Structure 1
């Protein structure tokens, strides 16, 4: 079978979660015998409408009118919802819908015109990774995500300012070119709090550099304000690194459970006090750190794999074809 994959321009050059997912999915479908024609699009570009289409939700947010008007067999691949009328109409008309988390599926089904039997969940997979070597103090903190307000790095810096200046360092990894004004605000916040010597901004890293960052981390902090899943969470756990994250969207789903307990800590989003309390517990409770590391290691065995992601999407496409 064949499918046209419609994705935002920059699929192979920008390391966003959606792009990583789309690249792995494309490879997984090809491995299953599919012919995949990739179309990287910007708003205003001609939109392919022939044959079976798998449409990244960012493309669908501005191309829905064209897809609907042409009667295209378009299967939305929903990383996130944008809430536009065209998007809602496209979801209702689609022969199948793929969501990247159960939480996102619940948001899609909030539109009553969408048949739940047509909505398939295909969560992001994980790559096998080498475990890191945790430090004795647990003070090597890592935050991974594009530096934008929705990722909440300002919340993290405010929380770190309340943790004092001893026993920790924090590395913030992520592209700095999306919202330069926000990046300037983060640097100013770190300076005003007197923690510039403990906070490092690396910019975007390549795959090997990011692997090294995960392996060097004692804990990964995800202070996001909105997240449909949270691939950073599962990537952290794949390295055996516990996660301290906002309890928002699909993050609890990504974190998962081991024997009824999370392999990390969940805190209220956009709440520096709550995050500071969690960080303080992590930094000052060696027993807690040991337990969370153990549950993170145990979680590795149940993390989803990319082969399963591709299999779920293939089933949805076969049903839509």
Structure 2
């Protein structure tokens, strides 16, 4: 057994009604780390990443109570907007900050959040990101040297292959319906290909940004079905031919590898870690396509090609099947994070 670890997390990471890539990542790595060390989880309720004075005070108290020289893994959602708490304990504790998404990259974020995050990551003993693209982004945002931010890519569970339809017209988007995930761009693109036969399901929370969601529901050809997890999500993937992820910002995009684990090709935006998640098959072929973020015309063009070109569908599907065999599990993520945690 290695030394004990304290993990400071946002409250509710195990809430099945509020799934997210960050929550899944935290739970999977902490479960893995607990096999080789004592893990003490400290879940903090609060208005993260917009903490009130009371939430900041709670974080300060929690860190102050951890024994000297301990290693502490801080979820960036909790720590990045509360640099005073991190700075106060940086000389006494070994603080490792896990940044799932730079705070300034959340659509509509206040620039002040990025400034606060910069103080936090500069005070930490180590910073971890979930893709190389995200790591370089954090370094650039906050004046860190190249290579200073470590990378621990998310893993993915093995899953059964899906059976594609001949037409390939079953489209799926899995993401909370928010401005950053950009379902508005997807809807605009789909209106452009309204002359073609397709079905699109958007699975993801509908309560994060009601003002953003409401206009999208008016386009009845796209089915917004809300949050799906477990067996219901597995069945949703099994009924899909193409995953579409139109995000404006995405440090990795775990749904990308969830789709590829089932042999489903992916059409996504070329942002941060998404190209890493899509990856390539051993022969260099790409299991899908990438378009610029926020470009509905480019997304519509790629969808039209997918829907009308059987050869393209064959190529993307073959590459997805080959890429499936190269995906890594959560044990590799845990191993990489464990290396960073060791002093």
Matched-pair contact (CA < 8 Å) for 1:95–1:118: no
Deviates more, 1:87-96 or 1:282-291: 87-96
- Counterparts of 2:148 and 2:250, CA distance in 1: 23
- Counterparts of 2:13 and 2:181, CA distance in 1: 21
1:317 is matched with 341
Matched-pair contact (CA < 8 Å) for 1:78–1:100: yes
Matched-pair contact (CA < 8 Å) for 1:144–1:172: yes
> What is the root-mean-square deviation in Å for CA atoms of aligned residues?
1.5
1:78 is matched with 99
2:39 is matched with 36
| 1:25 pairs with 2:29 | yes
| 1:65 to partner: Cα distance | 1.2
1:240 is matched with 263
| 1:57 to partner: Cα distance | 1.0
| 1:247 to partner: Cα distance | 1.1
Alpha-carbon spacing, 1:4–1:158, altered in 2? closer, same or farther (3 Å): same
| 1:225 pairs with 2:245 | no
Matched-pair contact (CA < 8 Å) for 2:80–2:120: no
Matched-pair contact (CA < 8 Å) for 1:64–1:90: yes
- Counterparts of 1:73 and 1:116, CA distance in 2: 21
| 1:119 to partner: Cα distance | 2.8
| 1:182 to partner: Cα distance | 1.2
Between the two proteins, the alignment pairs up a number of residues equal to 311
| 1:145 pairs with 2:172 | no
Matched ranges for 1:1-321 at <5 A = 1-13=3-15, 14-31=18-35, 33-41=36-44, 42=46, 43=51, 44-45=54-55, 46-47=58-59, 48-49=62-63, 50=66, 51-71=70-90, 72-83=93-104, 84-110=114-140, 114-116=144-146, 118-188=148-218, 190=219, 196=220, 198-258=221-281, 259-319=283-343
| 1:118 to partner: Cα distance | 4.6
Matched-pair contact (CA < 8 Å) for 2:178–2:212: yes
| 1:286 to partner: Cα distance | 0.8
| 1:69 to partner: Cα distance | 1.5
- The normalised TM-score by structure 1 is 0.93
| 1:117 to partner: Cα distance | 5.5
- Counterparts of 1:239 and 1:289, CA distance in 2: 15
| 1:135 to partner: Cα distance | 0.6
Matched-pair contact (CA < 8 Å) for 2:80–2:121: no
- Counterparts of 2:291 and 2:145, CA distance in 1: 33
SS in 2 for 1:157: helix
- Counterparts of 1:66 and 1:229, CA distance in 2: 28
1:193 is matched with none
- Counterparts of 1:148 and 1:57, CA distance in 2: 20
Matched-pair contact (CA < 8 Å) for 1:222–1:245: yes
- Counterparts of 1:127 and 1:110, CA distance in 2: 32
- Counterparts of 1:312 and 1:57, CA distance in 2: 18
Post-superposition CA distance 1:195-245 (Å, at most 9, x none): x1x321110012211111111100000011111111111111011100011
SS in 1 for 2:128: strand
- Counterparts of 1:236 and 1:268, CA distance in 2: 20
Matched-pair contact (CA < 8 Å) for 1:154–1:186: yes
- Counterparts of 1:239 and 1:89, CA distance in 2: 41
Alpha-carbon spacing, 1:293–1:117, altered in 2? closer, same or farther (3 Å): closer
SS in 2 for 1:37: strand
